[in-house]
Amino acid sequence: MPQTDSDIRAILYGLPPADLAEVPEGAAQVSPLIPGSARLEDVAEASLDSALLLAPPGTAERRYALALAIRAVRPGGRLVAMAPKDKGGTRLAKELRGFGCAVTDEPRRHHRICTQPGIFSWDRLDPGSALLLRHLPTLSGRGADFGCGLGILARAVLKSAKVASLALIDIDRRAIEMARRNVGEPGATLHWADLRSAEPALSGLDFVVTNPPFHDGGAEDQALGQVFINRAAAVLRPSGTLYLVANTHLPYEAPLRAAFRTVTTLATEGGYKLFEARK
């Protein structure tokens, strides 16, 4: 039986190295980037005995997560926050002291351990998405938005009366929550899911639109885009179309040609390239 908010006495944020910190017994996962996790925002104030955080690399996101965790830990409870030195670890102690915490700062194997920002392009329209929006044709049928973010692409796609349904998918729970507010059309369905897994089950789609991520945990990971390409090829019907925008330095041409019958570069502009790939 899943834990309710009132049952939670310990939390785990992210996946810290197991050899660096002991995970509290019965800890509930609360990372917004792990589908199925509880919401840290919903954990009651002063209700936790302990919390272990692999702090996010982004400054605003890290401070937001720390503030929520500090709020949730009871007086006398234990909070352990850790991060690689080059991804916020050197600033952890100062940030925690700024929240009024008594801090023990311990360097350990390139990490620092100290006892709603964060969504991609949350404060601006990403230039890649803007390029895709300028060149996107009027679509029709059933489709999906891989890595939907706030739902900006989805809103544009759903302006077409010919679009019967659109599945919005993102690994970030906060993005899905914002997309739910931004996209109210009845044909939209929202899925908090990791496209590297089998869910959600999709097939026979007419189109996929995507501006795939290429960072995982702050480090560049070009394999993510290749996963999006292969997943799109798997869910599209024969002659279905993928519209993908990416930074020009990312080598997606080869995986696109391996997975699709035809690949066309529709535009190259401002450090981005837009592909149309037909299955």
Query: Which of these, 40, 20, 25, 173, lies nearest to 109 by C-alpha position?
Result: 20
What is this structure's pTM? Answer: 0.67
Q: Tell me, what's the pLDDT at 120? A: 46
Q: Which stretches in the chain have pLDDT values below 50?
A: 1-2, 113-123, 215
Distance CA 121, CA 149 (A): 8
Handedness of CA 270, 171, 214, 205 (dihedral sign): negative
Q: Tell me, what's the pLDDT at 117? A: 40
What contacts 200, CB < 8 A, 6 or more positions away?
A: 167, 169, 191, 193
Alpha helices in 73-185, H assignment, sequence order: 92-98, 127-135, 152-157, 173-182
Distance CA 106, CA 209 (A): 45
Q: Are 191 and 167 in contact (CB under 8 A)?
A: yes
Kindly report, residue by residue over 22-60, the tens digit of the pLDDT: 888 899 999 999 999 999 999 998 898 889 999 998 899
Q: Tell me, what's the pLDDT at 115? A: 47
Q: Tell me, what's the pLDDT at 78? A: 83
Q: Tell me, what's the pLDDT at 135? A: 92
Q: Tell me, what's the pLDDT at 218? A: 52
Tell me the domains of the chain and their CATH numbers: 5-114 (3.40.50.150), 127-278 (3.40.50.150)
Q: How far is CA 179 from the centre of its chain?
A: 12
Cα atoms in the 13 Å half-sphere on the side-chain side of 10: 13
Residues 223/227/232/233 CA torsion (nearest 10 deg): 90
Handedness of CA 40, 45, 47, 52 (dihedral sign): positive
Q: What is the mean pLDDT of the chain?
A: 85
